C-alpha cells in the first residue's frame, strides 16, 4: 500500500531508558550557535569565539568524536534551546550513538522553551500565474528535490491538485469517480465513463497519479498513471494495485497542473521546480508556505543484534516531513 503521512506539530518523547546520573558531559544547541564552536556554553561568549552548537546533527557527531577517544564514563546531555531548527537531512541515530545503563545519552529541549525540528523549507518569491494562482521557483531558492506530495500553508496541509475536487462538506465520501468496468488487465487498468475525465482540457498528464481504493475497498493505493486512452476509455497504471480493480471502486486523479482549479490546491513541476498554489483565502506572504525537504525528521536505526540503547529524546516539537516524523527500527 502506498501512503504518505506527516506528523505535524507533535511532541516527541522517546524514552528508551532512564537512569540516575552522577556527573555529565553537557552540550548545548541554540539558534544563535555555531557548529565550529565547542558546544559547551549555553550562549555565545562576548567575543563570539565560543558558544553552543547550531545543529543537533553536529551535537550527535561531537559525541561520536568523543567516543573515538575512548569510552565515555559519564552521562551525556544535549540541551537544545528554544527556536526553530530546519532539518535538511534526517537526524539518524544508530547503535554508535547508544549510551549505557550508567551513562545514558539524552537529547532534550530546554525545559520551559519550545524547540521545533522542522523538516520543511519556507517558500518565497511568489509571482502571479493565472487568475488567483501564484507561482514560485524552488530551484532559485536552493531546493533540489521537487518530487514531494506534501505542502503546508500557515501550518495546514493543502490539497495536491486533483479531479474531481475535494468536497469539503463530504470529505470522506465526496469528490470521487467510480470505476466503470475493470480492464482485462484487472490489476493495472480500468475503464472510465465517456467524458468523465476531461482529458481534452489537460495539456500534460506526465505526472498524473490515481488515488484508488481497489478490491473490496480494503486497500488504498496511489499509483502513477502510465497513460490515458480516450478511445478505449482506459486508465493504464504503472504498477498493479493491491488485489484487483473492481467495478465501482472509488478513485480520483491528482497531480495534474490543469486540475489546479480550486482554493487550497497546489502543484509542483517535477522537471522545473516551479511551484503553483491556489491560495484558499487571498494573498499569501513569503514563508507562509513550506515544503518538505526530508522524508523523515528523526530515525533510530538499529538491528536485533546491535540496537540503539540507553538513548532518550524528549520535549521537541516535530513539524512537517514528506513521510513520517519518527522512524524506529
Interatomic CA distance for residues 249 and 143, integer angstroms? 37
Condensed to tens digits (0 to 9), the pLDDT of residues 33-59 reads: 999 999 999 999 999 999 999 999 999
Interatomic CA distance for residues 125 and 137, integer angstroms? 7
Condensed to tens digits (0 to 9), the pLDDT of residues 230-261 reads: 999 999 999 999 999 999 999 999 999 999 99
User: 64 and 96 in contact (C-beta within 8 Å)?
Assistant: yes
Q: What is the pLDDT of residue 171?
A: 79
Interatomic CA distance for residues 198 and 164, integer angstroms? 10
Condensed to tens digits (0 to 9), the pLDDT of residues 271-312 reads: 999 999 999 988 899 999 999 999 999 999 999 999 999 999
Interatomic CA distance for residues 120 and 116, integer angstroms? 11
Interatomic CA distance for residues 27 and 115, integer angstroms? 15
Model pTM score = 0.85
Condensed to tens digits (0 to 9), the pLDDT of residues 183-227 reads: 888 899 999 998 899 999 999 999 999 999 999 998 999 999 999
| Alpha-helical runs (H) found in 93-180 | none
Condensed to tens digits (0 to 9), the pLDDT of residues 97-111 reads: 999 999 999 999 999
Cis peptide leading into residue 164 (ω within 30°) = yes
241: its cell numbers: 494495485
Q: What is the pLDDT of residue 4?
A: 34
CB atoms within 10 A of CB 119: 30
Lowest mean pLDDT among 68-77, 149-158, 231-240: 68-77
5: its cell numbers: 503521512
HSE-CB at 256 with a 13 A cutoff on CA atoms is 27
43: its cell numbers: 550562549
Mean pLDDT of 77-104: 96
Q: What is the pLDDT of residue 229?
A: 95
Q: What is the pLDDT of residue 183?
A: 87
Amino acid at each position: 500500500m502506498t501512503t504518505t503521512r506527516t506528523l505535524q506539530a507533535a511532541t516527541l518523547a522517546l524514552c528508551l531508558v532512564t537512569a540516575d546520573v552522577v556527573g555529565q558531559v553537557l552540550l548545548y544547541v541554540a539558534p544563535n550557535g555555531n557548529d565550529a564552536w565547542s558546544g559547551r556554553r549555553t550562549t555565545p561568549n562576548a567575543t563570539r569565539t565560543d558558544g553552543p552548537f547550531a545543529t543537533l546533527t553536529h551535537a550527535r557527531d561531537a559525541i561520536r568524536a568523543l567516543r573515538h577517544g575512548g569510552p565515555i564514563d559519564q552521562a551525556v546531555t544535549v540541551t537544545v534551546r528554544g527556536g526553530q531548527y530546519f532539518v535538511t537531512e534526517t537526524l539518524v541515530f544508530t547503535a554508535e550513538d547508544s549510551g549505557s545503563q550508567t551513562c545514558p545519552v539524552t537529547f532534550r529541549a530546554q525545559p520551559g522553551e519550545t524547540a521545533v525540528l522542522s523538516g520543511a523549507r519556507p517558500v518565497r518569491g511568489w509571482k502571479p500565474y493565472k487568475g488567483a494562482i501564484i507561482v514560485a521557483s524552488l530551484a532559485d531558492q536552493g531546493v533540489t528535490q521537487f518530487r514531494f506530495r506534501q505542502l503546508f500553508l500557515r501550518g495546514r496541509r493543502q490539497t495536491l491538485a486533483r479531479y474531481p475536487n475535494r468536497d469539503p462538506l463530504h470529505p470522506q465520501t465526496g469528490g470521487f469517480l467510480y470505476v466503470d468496468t475493470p480492464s482485462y488487465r484487472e490489476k493495472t487498468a480500468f475503464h472510465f465513463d465517456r467524458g468523465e475525465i476531461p482529458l481534452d482540457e489537460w495539456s500534460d498528464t506526465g505526472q498524473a497519479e490515481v488515488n484508488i481504493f481497489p478490491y473490496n475497498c480494503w486497500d488504498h493505493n496511489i499509483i502513477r498513471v502510465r497513460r490515458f486512452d480516450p478511445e478505449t476509455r482506459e486508465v493504464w497504471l504503472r504498477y498493479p494495485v493491491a488485489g484487483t480493480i473492481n467495478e465501482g471502486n472509488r478513485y480520483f486523479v491528482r497531480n495534474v497542473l490543469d486540475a489546479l482549479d480550486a482554493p487550497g490546491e497546489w502543484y509542483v513541476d517535477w522537471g522545473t521546480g516551479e511551484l503553483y498554489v491556489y491560495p484558499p483565502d487571498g494573498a499569501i506572504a513569503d514563508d507562509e508556505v513550506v515544503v518538505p525537504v526530508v522524508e523523515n525528521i528523526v530515525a533510530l536505526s538499529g538491528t536485533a543484534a546491535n540496537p540503539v540503547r540507553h538513548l532518550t529524546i524528549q520535549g521537541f516539537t516535530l513539524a512537517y516531513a514528506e513521510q513520517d516524523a519518527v522512524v524506529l527500527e
